[in-house]
Chains A and B, each alone.
Chain A
Amino acid sequence: MLEIAEQVVERARIHGAQQAAAGAYQVREVSVQWRDGAVEKLTEATTRGVGVELYVDGRYASVSTSDLRPDALDTFVGDAIAMTRALAPDPFRALPDPQLYRGQSDVDLQLADPNYGALTAVARRELAQQLEAAARDTPDGARILSATTSVSDSQSRSWRVHSDGFVGQKVGTSYWLGAEVSVQDADGRRPEDACYAGARWRGDVPDPQGIGAEATRRTLSRLGSRKPESGQVTLVVDARAAGRVVSSLLGGLSAAGWQQKRSFLEGKLGAQIGNALLDVTDDPLVVRGLGSRRFDGEGMAAREMALFAAGVLKNGLVDTYYGKKLQMAPTTGRLSNLRWRLGAKGREALLRDVGDGIFVTGFLGGNANGTTGDFSWGIQGFAIRAGQLAEPIGEANISGNHLTLWPALLAVGDDPYRYSALRTPTLVFGGVNVAGR
């Protein structure tokens, strides 16, 4: 596939592109979905394709194809260049400054399990079966309507070739286990919940027993959920669920949003966005990290970057194009892994500190306005009474604005969620509007 990327760049130059950057990929994915004692679905495939960004006479296009027959590739590149020539010129389009390719870390990121491929079809089925057995191994097993489990793994390889000499290769593997459980509630509802865990190396994936049992525990805890009363409450957001709130905040970091003046963080570099507890760094060099990389999607060497330091906005996600438009130095256009300055307390201690409030275990729908920072999301979770989790709540919304939410960050847990590159800890916010009854 490296040769295909090289050929595409070469053909682009022959057809008249001054610059080109090609990316080719090949991904093998295998998954087993298991339900109620039998395989529900087996999927296995190796998928591949190539894409190329074209810079032609000051004009830009980005195109991709999965038809890799040599004559088809040549026609594809020729047609794409003809299409690019029909566009208006854009003086801000160019490959990155080659200086930014330099200085790649030589840390061994260990993103690929060297034993990938050793997992057999039989072993996958056994894992799926064990997940289900663990989910059903509970005194309340009779309430379970259905248990679906999944076992999947993938190996992805990608190659990037630029006309200015940059060549990069990435190889990564991942393994995921999951269990979803539905139970019968007294009033006809059939609440469902799930537990998933994964890692880049097979040996880092937790045992199926814990995952299956956790899925059932979570689901059973939903029985009898009620709407909470409307009002302003202290909100504790579970580490597993906090990604929704955090990714909405981080959406404001995009330089495209800044340049288009559609971001509530536009013009706020150096400003206090949250209180001192909001302290987050993008760290691309985490060994075996889910979002780790040595170079980014444009070939720029990956570096650690502070996003918020003691609540102050330090950097945005600035790619080459919007960097030029904004006359800002590019950082990177995409996040890798987050590293939080963690607090000293775990969930139980945080709940005790809060006393009364709502513990959010999941979000349902909702959205945010990226221009103003307003958000409104559906939630489910539990009431917190006297420092303990109490009755399950659901069918409620929270609403607010990021610019007032993060100054009201009361605590950060010590418990980053391992199964997401956002690695969010438990977060506690004061005075959040909840709409229920």
Chain B
Amino acid sequence: MSTAHVSGGTGLAAALQYFGRFGVDEALIRTALAAALARGGDRADVYFQHRVAHSLGLEDGAVNRAWSGIELGVGIRVLRGDQTGYGYTEDLTPESVRQAALTAAAIADGPSRERPIPQLVATAIPQRYPAKTPWDQVAAATRLPLLQRVQERAFAADPRVQKVTVHFSDEEGAVLMVDSDGRVAFDTQPMTLIHLSCMAEENGRRESNGGNIAGRAGLEFYNDAKLDKLVREAVDRTTILFEAGQPPAGEMPVVLGAGSSGILLHEAIGHGLEADFNRKGVSIYADKLGKPIAAPFVTVVDDATNEGARGAINIDDEGNAAGVTTLIHDGVLQTYLHDSISARHYGVQPTGNGRRESFRHAPLPRMRSTYMLPGPHTPEEIIASVDRGIYCGNFANGQVQIGAGDFTFYVKNGWLIEGGKLTRPIKDVNLIGNGPKVLEQIDMVGNDLKIDDGGWTCGKDGQSVPVSQGMPTTRVRAMTVGGRG
């Protein structure tokens, strides 16, 4: 909470004002870039990052634990063709930064080419998550009542709720990117998340479940309506488990509820379209650009622009503009998700999908907020169309094999559909399918798109980045449901 708040501005002056207190100035940036290109690399960039995160925990009735972390450092990347050299350091003294840059430079093994770094010019970027009340201006004591309020409401919501834990976290940070063409990008990046877990007891049985909401925002993110919805969903998802059973095992129609079912897109197609996998020829989608891969009413986008969304970005972690990327338009595969390396490889514009966990990692093509646009059907007619199948309500996690195309997602709560009606609740079941096959088998899409506001995190190559996902109610003709019997 010592972070001095730097007001507004996205230009070089604002960036150097923010990072200047850590010893970063134009001379240091130029030292780093010159060292990075000392062995003849094609291009280089530096990524300075400062991030202050706090979290609070409520357990057994009291907000009695806190964590905080300060991250400060720089990552230096050198590119030669498709090849990457990467070094980083937490020590921002000129000698340490120069050493990290020389390490990255070793991807190339030639002599230095005479190439001065041009004048540094800041890129203008949109403001998709201006925090009205930034976290560095919020005292710890102001955050505590939020957690207490959530706990009180959770206990009040149902007498079977016996234990409640609440985790609250917020993050304030800034990144400064400068590349060897003199392009500068500076962005301040807030984030917040609240997670409620409930344990309920009924007739000696215990069940637990939870829910969370997240966004790129300051304290203004939270209001009564949001917290009430969080509590209602978490408590309902817990207590319904007492009635829930296992679905039968095997192939059956699957209806995906609006919202977090976007996890299907994330796993079934999103990862497979990340251009690094295609550049290497290892994705099942590697030769499908321009081809129809889904019904004509299926349009899928990866969107950086949803204001305040967890997956929103003003600019990607290579300093490239980030907008709306249409992956599937009317059923036809349009583009991959590109970072700079893959965009050069394919001779296209980057799509603003170059993202990284922190300065300790080189960027990779990653998703932002991935969702399907609304379709022609109503959610009611979709459910009514299924004689025997399952309805998926909310999810814990998913995974995919990029090349074989098999992907899974874990359904925490759902319903059995019998005779066109939701009949019995189900729980804890993994679903597995094959990406291209499942896309072909999406045969109904609802008109009720919802972008989920949960705290989704995507992992790839050991790097975690925040993402969002969304979906209208959708029917898949058949998937393998991991039930019993």
Which residues in A have some Cβ–Cβ distance to B below 8 Å? 35-36, 38-49, 59-68, 75-76, 79-80, 82-84, 86-90, 93, 121, 145-146, 148, 182, 185, 188-192, 222, 225, 227, 230, 260-262, 325, 364-372, 374-378, 380, 394-400, 433-437
5 CB-based A-B contacts, threshold 8 Å: A43-B86, A65-B69, A182-B281, A376-B410, A400-B484
Q: In angstroms, how far is the closest chain A Cβ from the Cβ of B269?
A: 15
Contact B404 A222 (CB under 8 A): yes
| Nearest-CB residue, chain B, relative to A62 | B67
B399 CB, nearest partner CB in chain A, Å: 3
For A45, the closest partner residue in chain B by CB is B88
Kindly count the residue-residue contacts between A and B in the assembled complex, taking CB atoms under 8 Å apart. Answer: 270
Q: A64: nearest residue on chain B (CB-CB)?
A: B69
Q: How many residues of B contact A (CB 8 A)?
A: 90
CB contact list, B123-145 vs A, under 8 A: 139-141, 144
How many angstroms between the C-alpha atoms of A42 and B100 in the bound complex? 12
Judge if B458 is at the interface, Cβ distance under 8 Å: no
Verify B88–A47 contact, CB threshold 8 A. Answer: yes
Q: How far is the CA of A290 from the CA of B4 in the complex (A)?
A: 43
* A371 pairs with B207, CB closer than 8 A: yes
With A190-B283, A261-B163 already in contact, the answer to whether A87 and B63 are too (CB < 8 A) is yes
Q: In the complex, which residues of chain A have a beta carbon less than 8 angstroms from the beta carbon of B91?
A: 48, 68
Whole-angstrom CA separation of A21 from B59 in the bound complex: 22
**In the bound complex, how far is the Cα of B250 from the Cα of A437, in angstroms?**
6
- Known pairs A65-B71, A377-B430; list 14 more (Cβ under 8 Å): A39-B107, A42-B85, A45-B103, A47-B88, A60-B66, A145-B281, A189-B434, A260-B199, A261-B163, A399-B249, A399-B482, A436-B480, A437-B251, A437-B480
Contact between chains at B404 and A262 (CB < 8 Å): no
| CA–CA, A46 and B90, complex, Å | 9
The answer to whether A148 touches B428, judged by C-beta atoms less than 8 angstroms apart, is no
Whose C-beta in chain B lies nearest to the C-beta of A432? B484
- Binary A-proximity of B31-70 (CB < 8 A = 1, otherwise 0): 0000000000000000000000010100110111111111
- Contacts A86-B140, A397-B430 given; indicate if A60 touches B65 (C-beta within 8 A): yes
Which residues of the other chain, A, contact B397 by a CB distance below 8 angstroms? 365, 367
B87 at the interface (CB under 8 A from A): yes
A45 to B101, CA, bound (A): 10
Q: How far is the CB of A300 from chain B (nearest CB, A)?
A: 20
CA A262 to CA B201, docked complex, whole Å = 11
Do residues A399 and B430 form an inter-chain contact, with CB atoms below 8 A? yes
Query: Nearest residue in B to A78 (C-beta to C-beta)?
Result: B2
Contact A63/B406 with A433-B485, A435-B480 known, Cβ cut-off 8 Å: no
Instruction: Identify B402's interface contact among A46, A192, A437, CB under 8 A.
Output: A192
Are A63 and B67 closer than 8 Å at their CB atoms? yes
B282 touches A260 (CB 8 A): no
A375-B246 Cα distance, complex, nearest whole Å: 11
CA–CA, A380 and B56, complex, Å = 40
Partner of A395, one of B69, B429, B480: B480
Kindly state the separation between the CA atoms of A36 and B82 in the bound complex, as whole angstroms.
12
Inter-subunit contact B70/A190 (CB<8 Å): no
- Check: B196 CB closer than 8 A to any chain A CB: no
Q: Contact check, B280 vs A146: say whether CB atoms are below 8 A apart.
A: yes
